[in-house]
Amino acid sequence: MTSHLSSMRTFLHRAISARPQAVGCAHGVLLAASFGFLYLGTLAELTSDWNTNPNFSHGYLVPLISGFLIWRRKEQLKALPITPSHLGLAVFGGGLLLFFVGTIGAELFVMRCSMLVTLAGIILFCLGRQWAKALAVPVGYLVFMIPLPSIIWNKIAFPLQLMAASGAAHALPLFGVSVFREGNVLHLASTTLEVVDACSGLRSLMALLALGAAFAFISPLAPWKKWILFLSSVPVAVLVNVLRLTVTGMMAVYISPETAHGTMHDLSGMVAFGAAIFFLFVINQCLET
């Protein structure tokens, strides 16, 4: 009889202990369903931007990389206790408030960023603070899938256009190419090259920042070295774009003006991005020594 009573007490103790987690998970499922229903239209518009705007086509890769970052920490996550926190409801509510503010102001960037806040609230409420801390980087990484507002994009793109044109104008004479720069336009002997928005390097910079952030996160470097690796994406992207524009100018003069456009131009962009990835790898190797 004593053993049966002891077993019963153990069972009741486990049931009572598990009840808050079960209730938290049930509420979490409801919150997750609400999240999907609320943000369905926002997600559809976001994927439409990835499809139609080449500046943000890297957005498809960001959730996949975020999932990979979570998968790499699966053993650590398995060891974490599930301790639902009601603080998650406040974070969830803050995300909803951002969403409605963005909806009223017709500001897509705010609406899309609110998804990350709302998602963080669900994780905190369902799984607890330790899980929220462990998943902070993969969830925060999703910000790279959100296109910048046009007003910010244009403020950054035009200075980068001028920087690329200026860099190429200084580099081309070193290879025997005469050039006259007028703003973001390079006048060569046989043709004129205009450094438009697509050639500003901002597209590569955004993709390289996303890649550099993931690279820095998984790299076995000290935290301050991780920041150096991540931030080095900016000068690397600028340098590679200047090199790309310089090579394009040389091809236009020494081969034919047609090589500065069309297929060769697109191919040079892919080669330049590959070179940027290589430079990041070299910087990582130097930081490891």
Give the separation between CA 196 and CA 162, rounded to whole angstroms: 10
- The Cβ of residue 101 has, within 10 Å, a number of other Cβ atoms equal to 13
For the chain, what is the radius of gyration of the CA atoms? 25
Q: Which two tokens stand for residue 134?
A: 């462990």
What pLDDT is recorded for position 271?
83
Give the separation between CA 182 and CA 194, rounded to whole angstroms: 9
Distances (CA, A) of 280 to 72, 202, 215: 21, 17, 9
Distances (CA, A) of 284 to 40, 212, 221, 281: 39, 10, 9, 5
Stronger pLDDT, 153 or 13, i.e. the higher one: 153
Q: What angle do CA 118, 122, 123 make, to 5 degrees?
A: 115
State how beta strands 179-182 and 185-188 pair.
antiparallel
Average pLDDT over residues 118-138: 91
Average pLDDT over residues 117-121: 92
122 and 91 in contact (C-beta within 8 Å)?
no
Q: What is the pLDDT of residues 221-245, one digit of tens each?
A: 888 999 999 999 989 988 988 888 8
What pLDDT is recorded for position 245?
87
- Global pTM reads 0.80
Q: Which two tokens stand for residue 177?
A: 């190419």
What pLDDT is recorded for position 146?
93
Given a cut of 50, whether residue 128 has pLDDT beyond it is yes
Q: What angle do CA 77, 280, 222 make, to 5 degrees?
A: 45
Given a cut of 80, whether residue 5 has pLDDT beyond it is no
Span of 5-14, 102-111, 134-143, 158-167 with lowest mean pLDDT: 5-14
